[in-house]
Structure 1
């Protein structure tokens, strides 16, 4: 037979107080006499009592659970963002519930339905885009929604975006200023709003300058994609001498293709710029010039927006656009 869980009633009996007094002792801000609190805490420690926050939350309609809906959780950038979000949530007295999805909207929809079933107070969506009808269902159930780097806002949600297009324009300007004349854009086929925004900014800057670029995209947002596309581009007769990669993982693959497979010098033969500023970008083996994702700022804005009060489903979507800073290292000629 399973051992019975220690209850608040058990603590009350041992401490010689009421069940209500035990509840107040473990409720932040509640008034309890000092000696009464001491007896309750001593009894709780002796019995090994732990407050059942989930049960309390179901009663008060505030569970403290926040669903984190994300794909590619093993990539360096996503890992850093999830770490920052969970740290902020814990500091705010909340608990992050990670739901690992693929990139599809259908997978995200299933994840949101699970979040509703678990009575989460909020969901932070890092991948995919929920259908508007499902968003309305979340809001009707009192769930707050935060969309990070998504393409379209929904009523009652907070959208946190980066100025990706401006980063693409800055990348073009930096490569041009470095004397690069044969420029290339390397992207995956993931098609996320962030990746497409960076690529669009680079293309627009090139078009405005009257510069033709080699525009390539293939596969997943991965090191292997960079290695494959880098090998393809750098073995062309008109190989590029300046490459903007939409993520650092892709850029690392391009750099290894150049140096290891083709014995080219970076930045002597080809300059490379990435995006994300993952830890590997700062390794001496890469010294990658890149754009830093403001991970802490994203996490701070996301968690600060979460309040116990339910959100009115007719509330106008809120938008926060964060700048990204360029980090100069040794992969671009200067």
Structure 2
């Protein structure tokens, strides 16, 4: 019982008293459904709830079915069905798409070509205690969806941290010259191998397909001075290569000329040796004849010598005594030819500078 403002007792509400009747009278008429209508609504709701278990796995994707939060099975591309939530759930993962992760910088998708450097990721120490600014792009794909979804709390953050570890370990074993020039390919290859070993050890479900050094340079504060040093080294290498090319061009020629001189000297040696042997043999033969007939041999040698000397002369010597009845026959034609040829040779020599 309750008291009213005037102090009198007020009766509690009950469906039969006048207050309830008054409320019902004031409410509009509402068409409450019948028992069959309620059953139809319940069945429609159950059908809609059951239809939520239908899901589609696209080409290159793989589905993972969970039952009360635990992995139950995996499904392939196509139309698939699982029990509705909260009994079962499904997650769809693309296992063929190549994705990329930027380390040391971030590109702005709203402004293509614009990048923002992350010094805490890009600056690292080389083996010769120099600082280098390296920006890296990792290309990967999901190879094991279950491990990718549930084994690591944040697979991409783990991949970024592992990339820094792999890159710093490779750069730390090389000089800055190697990193900036001939060692870039080696850094990329070794970083990819080491990074894949780390991600496999973490059971991340990721497969590293490629590692690309986007940019490797000295820090911005010393970039100009470092480039001057690099240009000086390049000039030095250029001069060394030019000198090496000149050496490789001149030395073979000099060796060839030396071999040619040696062969000519050897031929001259053989010629002089054979001539000396022939002269010695002739001298021995003459000596033998001289011992047999000294006078005859001396006369013959004298005549042979005179014949050789006079054969080159244009003078004709005729005996003045005796032979007066003999008409000498002179080879005037041959003498004129020799004289003309001799005069022409003298003119040619005189015309030379």
Q: TM-score range by the shorter chain?
A: under 0.3
TM-score normalized by the length of structure 2 = 0.21
Higher relative contact order (CA 8 A, sep 6+): 1
Normalized per residue, which structure has more helix? 2
Q: Report the TM-score when normalising by structure 1.
A: 0.22
Structure number with larger C-alpha Rg: 2
